[in-house]
Amino acid sequence: MSRWLPIVCLMTRTNLLRDAAFRNVYLSSSVSAFGSQVGYVALPLVAVLALHAGPGEVGLLSGLGTLAVLVAGLPAGAWVDRVRRLPVMIAADLARAALFASVPVLWWVGELTMGQLYAVAITAGICTLFFDVASQSLVPQLVGRERLTAANSLLVGTNAAMDISGRSFAGVLVGVVGAPSAIALDALSYLWSAAFLARLRSPGPPPAAPGERVARRIGDGLLFVFGHPILRAALLQGTMVNLGFPLYAVLLPVLLVSQLGHPEWVLGAYLSIGGLGTLAGSATAHLVGRRLGRGRAAWIVSLITTPAALVVPFVGDGAWTWIAAAGWFVLTYRTGLNNVLLVSFRQEVTPDAMLGRMTATTRLLLMGAVGAGGLLAGLIGEVWDVRTAMWAGAACMSLSWLPIFLSPLRQHH
């Protein structure tokens, strides 16, 4: 049977894309992901090139989207569970299109300010939060629990490809038309995304208890997530990974460019290798999960890749730069694979009526771990040095298989 697994996986994905409902969600996700990566590169460049922003202003601009998740995450999940998910996604797309379209318009008329960029960043971050929570709640309704791993493999893998191609294209586009005009492509991508979603018929939401307060609904969501052994293990594993990755990545520019004197393209190549690893992991998650069993795959692949976590801190001159980059590829491969498998597990074990709150709670904690990892990287780098921060990241990453291994999740197929 094992020799037929690649064919079975390919047929499953092909059948998914023949499903008109999923195909439109897939196309919506792909086009908006590409545009988002253009905006990810172009928006800070608007601040730097058009408004002459300093490092502190650029740092604040990049952090405001994360702040939106931390502030609005739990209420967003409680609200999404009470409404139809598809209209939320379309409204979020249209709002983001208008927000990003305002940037080139205001720049063309000479009225663009950093305050307006901050407003765009935080409002778009809130829209993205609602879109993502609604999207992860909608997909199980469209494809059914039995096809979630294949669906998430397609979605995560394509988004990883868009991350790589979008950022590369953004650099070229900014050089040709300028950063403010490049933002217009981001706005257009959200309009395309909304157009694909508008072709769907909206499935209704699960029934919500009438008159139930938001605080009560948020509390029920927290109790459900932390009381479920599979969700708790998946969340702890993800938190360890999201804490460890910034300890590696945040100070890479300091180490590679400032301390080791590598040209900027080496940093770009290093980060692109990570994107390719995520793409490879998400693309093969369905196959590996079928061969090993998805629960076993989640912890066995993590355990096998532990040596790579211990290689990355040796990044240096000569061959060690690329040996460490190979380790980085292996780690990001593991991340891409686990993103698919663990997101699918979370969606499978969560009732429809709780999907929004589960997703919002998970995003809150995982994004909080990313922020904490970034702050910890800066603290360790200041008190000790950059490599000490990277070794702390290696410790988190190398132990992150344990929560899955010690939970009932390892037995799941």
Find out whether 145 and 155 touch, Cβ atoms under 8 Å. Answer: no
- When mean pLDDT is compared across 19-28, 39-48, 330-339, the lowest value belongs to 39-48
The label of the residue with tokens 């080496």 reads 266
Quick one: DSSP state of residue 201? P
Whether 4 has a pLDDT exceeding 50, the answer reads no
Residues across the chain: 413
Domains in the chain and their CATH numbers? 1-205 (1.20.1250.20), 217-413 (1.20.1250.20)
Nearest CA-CA partner of 77 in 363, 348, 351, 366 = 363
Quick: pLDDT tens for 61-110: 766 766 777 777 777 777 777 778 888 889 999 999 999 899 889 988 88
Model confidence pTM above 0.95: no
- When mean pLDDT is compared across 41-45, 62-66, 398-402, the lowest value belongs to 62-66
Give dist(CA 158, CA 59) in Å, integer: 28
Exposure string of 169-197, with b = 16+ CB inside 10 Å and e = fewer, is: bbeebbeeebbbbbbbbbbbbbbbbbebb
164 vs 55, which has greater pLDDT? 164
Structure tokens that stand for 200 in this block: 């769907």
Nearest CA-CA partner of 76 in 363, 346, 318, 296 = 363
Give dist(CA 58, CA 382) in Å, integer: 21
Quick: pLDDT tens for 108-149: 888 888 888 888 888 888 888 888 888 777 777 777 767 777
